[in-house]
Amino acid sequence: MKYIVLFSLLVAGFYSLSVSGLHLSNLSPVCLRCICHASSNCNMTIGCYGGRCGPLQISRQYWKDAGRYVLPEDNPNRDGAFLDCAEDHSCATQILKHYIIAHGKDCNHDGITDCDDYAMLHFNLKSDCTVPIDATNFGLRYSTCRPTASLDDDDDII
């Protein structure tokens, strides 16, 4: 029993370290809000357009590539599990976080992996996140709320 508890603690510790340390250190609430704004003006009732659903406009393939996150107590094999999560703001945010954990990288090759890269990844998807987004509607909306470098520093301190 003691070993099971110890093992669980180790796993939990490793998980939180990898989540906060590796790709997510710059994934602040400001960044999450901005990606939501860029995706749909963060419209909770937007529904699906061209197979992309909810305030973050997430496709079923994106959801699969993020590990098929679902609402608490739901089953990823249930019809509608994807849609119900994608249309729920906090559940959709978890899909985004898991997508970034799995596929996040320095998309714009500026030497740091931050919100600009997560926005590029979210829009371009994992196959090639390096395409500039500046001229897209998504990118234009993102530019109005993107965290600045100094705000990122503040987030780290808080």
Tokens encoding 58:
């997430």
By CB under 6 A, residue 46 contacts ligand NAG: yes
CB atoms under 10 Å from CB of 106, counted, come to 16
- 48 touching ligand NAG, by CB under 6 A: no
Number of residues counted as binding ligand NAG (CB under 6 A): 5
**Smallest distance from the beta carbon of 44 to ligand NAG, in angstroms?**
8
> Helix and strand tally (H, E) in the chain?
8, 3
Point out the residue whose Cβ comes nearest to ligand NAG. 43
Integer-rounded Cα radius of gyration of the chain: 16
- The nearer residue to ligand NAG, 69 or 142, going by C-beta atoms, is 142
- Complex with ligand NAG: residue 24 or 83, whichever CB lies closer: 83
The count of other CB atoms within 10 Å of the CB of residue 2 is: 6
Q: By CB under 6 A, name the one of 1, 4, 45, 135 that touches ligand NAG.
A: 45
Using rule CB under 6 A, residue 43 touches ligand NAG: yes
Cβ neighbourhood burial of 5 (10 Å; 0-12, 13-18, 19+): exposed
Residues found near ligand NAG in the complex (CB under 6 A): 41, 43, 45-47
